[in-house]
Amino acid sequence: MKKFLITTAVVLSTLTLSGCQYFYPNWGATSAPTDEPSASSSPEPSASETSEPTPSASATEQPKGQVGLRVLSTSVDSGAGQITVIAEVADVSEDGGNCTLKLTSGSVTKTLTVKAESNVTDTQCYPFNLPLTGIPSGNASFTVSYESADSIGATSANSLVIP
């Protein structure tokens, strides 16, 4: 009986702890920040590809709805060496969008893009954790923008003091 209870306790503990990864909302959410300007390259068609006429994008795409964003929290943790910004898209609940933080301090501009996910009545951006490396001390300004297949929006400029 004692072996059964121990085995049951170990199995339940293992299942409980392995289930935590499904409830943690930010698992693998953030990407590495980029310095601006970033060069983007578009792939060139190969010789084997054929060009077929396609309908123009403006004729088939619906215009994106404007949404409002709110910055809920900002903090600068010099001990941890990062800036944390938490934002949400107001009155829209959808998955599949991305939020982008653009921070400018002096002549340095950094951007960081994270995923966004649906909440009950809003869409929440995963927390932005931007490393302080390379960002000069002093006053900084930042904006948060959001884009999905159906919606687009941005905050007005916000200020932050970098120690």
The neighbour count for residue 158, using CB atoms within 10 Å, is 15
Residue 53 placed within a domain: no
6 part of a folded domain? no
Domain-embedded: residue 64: no
- Residue at 90 is within a domain: yes
Give per-residue pLDDT as tens, 29-38.
455 555 554 4
- For residue 134, being part of any structural domain is answered with yes
CA distances to 12, 14, 17, 115, 131 from 6, in Å: 10, 12, 16, 41, 45
Q: Taking the mean position of all CA atoms in its chain, how far away is CA 135? A: 20
Q: What is the pLDDT of residue 18?
A: 52
Q: What is the pLDDT of residue 46?
A: 40
| pLDDT digit string, tens, across residues 107-146 | 999 999 999 999 889 999 999 999 999 999 999 999 999 9
| 109 vs 91: CA distance, rounded Å | 30
* Number of compact structural domains in the chain: 1
> CB-hemisphere CA count at 13 Å for 145?
9
Sign of CA dihedral 131, 41, 124, 69: positive
Residue 117 lies in domain:
25-36+76-163
Distance, CA of 102 to CA of 90 (rounded, Å): 19
In a domain, 156, yes or no: yes
Which domain CATH number covers 96?
A: 2.60.40
Residue with token string 């951006």: 125
The DSSP symbol for 30 reads B
Q: What is the pLDDT of residues 32-57, one digit of tens each?
A: 555 554 444 434 444 444 444 444 44
Residue 3 domain-assigned (yes or no):
no
